[in-house]
Structure 1
Amino acid sequence: MRSRSTLGTFAVVAGGLAAASLAFAPTAAAVSPGSATATYDCGSWGGGSATLVATQSGTAATITLTSSVTTSIPVGADQINATLTLAKAGGGTRVFSGKKNPALPVGPVTIGPLSGTVASGDSLNSYFAGVALKMVIFGVTVNCDALTSQSPGPFVFS
């Protein structure tokens, strides 16, 4: 009888230790850095510094962009259809898109979160040959070229 009790106690202790180790196990790392800046040129719509904020949950990722690009009229919520293309280290691109924006008064544009899919190890930068940011606002297409690489560096997804 005593051996059953000892085995039972051992099983309970072992189970408790296993549960505790899971509770204190490190969580999966997320995208790093969490935010970066880059300079964009959007022609007559303006340009300048933009802040990009990235988040990740598994292979799903989002990027929100706040820029110096300006609107000359107020824009309602979710009225900007945007596509942000990021260059992938080693070749290729990843695309983040959506029709998400807060209501915007005349002035700087905020877009996102734009959704995309990433793979572990993806290193993504908005600077590449081609249109980095395309926005369609009230039927007007605005193309923006990234003039600089992201600082402090590209987004690296885990």
Structure 2
Amino acid sequence: MRHGRLAAGTALGVGAAVAGTLALAPGAYAVEPQTATISFDCGTWGSGEATLEATQDGTAAAVTVTTDAITSPIDLAAGSVSSTLTLSKNGTGTTQFTGSANPALPAGSPISSGPLNGTVAPGDVLEAQSLTVTVLGFTVTCNATSAQAPGPFVFD
């Protein structure tokens, strides 16, 4: 009987400690919206829609870009597309998210690049302005021709 009370008391103590730890844990960082769309004009390479998916982990943020404005000329291996997404920052400057991460892309498929990594501060408001993509030594610059919808990314 004595062991049963000790075990019950220990279980209650551990449960209270875990609950207290969870209550003191920092909240998860969030970016809103998490997904946005925008139109790009890539000159002679074409134009089209892009989907931007944003994530945040503290001051580290990432945006994955998929756009039909540029299509893969041939099968492309994973990690072979280098991209820079330039975003307006708080209406007064710009910031860049960069990376060379992409899935394997079959010929003719929309370019998907990311995560493109950058740094944010609480309250940053970012909206895509341009995308520069380098594929097989060719650099393509795409300029935004619409506002980001449903609106700019706002980071916690």
Structure 2's unaligned 5+ residue stretches are 1-11
Change (3 A) 1:29 1:60: closer
Question: Offset at 1:90?
Answer: 3.0
Residues 64-143 of structure 1 aligned to structure 2 (within 5 Å): 64-68=64-68, 69-106=70-107, 107-127=109-129, 132-143=130-141
Question: Offset at 1:19?
Answer: 5.0
Residues 22-33 of structure 1 aligned to structure 2 (within 5 Å): 22-24=21-23, 27-33=27-33
Whether the aligned pair in 2 keeps the contact of 1:50 and 1:66 (CA below 8 Å) is: yes
Whether the aligned pair in 2 keeps the contact of 1:81 and 1:135 (CA below 8 Å) is: yes
Identity of aligned residues (%): 49
Look up the equivalent residue of 1:140 and give its one-letter code.
Answer: F
Instruction: Name the SS of the counterpart of 2:44 in structure 1.
Output: helix
Structure 1's unaligned 5+ residue stretches are 1-11
Q: Which has the higher strand share?
A: 2
Instruction: Name the SS of the counterpart of 2:141 in structure 1.
Output: strand
Whether the aligned pair in 1 keeps the contact of 2:53 and 2:63 (CA below 8 Å) is: yes
Question: Offset at 1:75?
Answer: 1.3
Q: How many aligned positions are there?
A: 143
Q: Which residue in 1 is equivalent to 2:36?
A: 36
Q: Which residue in 1 is equivalent to 2:19?
A: 20
Cα-Cα RMSD? 2.1
Distance 2:28 2:57 in 1: 9
Q: Which residue in 2 is equivalent to 1:152?
A: 150
Look up the equivalent residue of 2:77 and give its one-letter code.
Answer: G
Whether the aligned pair in 2 keeps the contact of 1:80 and 1:111 (CA below 8 Å) is: yes
Question: Offset at 1:71?
Answer: 1.9
TM-score by length of 1: 0.82
Distance 1:65 1:35 in 2: 10
Whether the aligned pair in 2 keeps the contact of 1:67 and 1:108 (CA below 8 Å) is: yes
Question: Offset at 1:47?
Answer: 1.8
Instruction: Name the SS of the counterpart of 1:126 in structure 2.
Output: strand
Distance 2:80 2:17 in 1: 50
Distance 2:34 2:110 in 1: 21
Question: Offset at 1:123?
Answer: 0.3
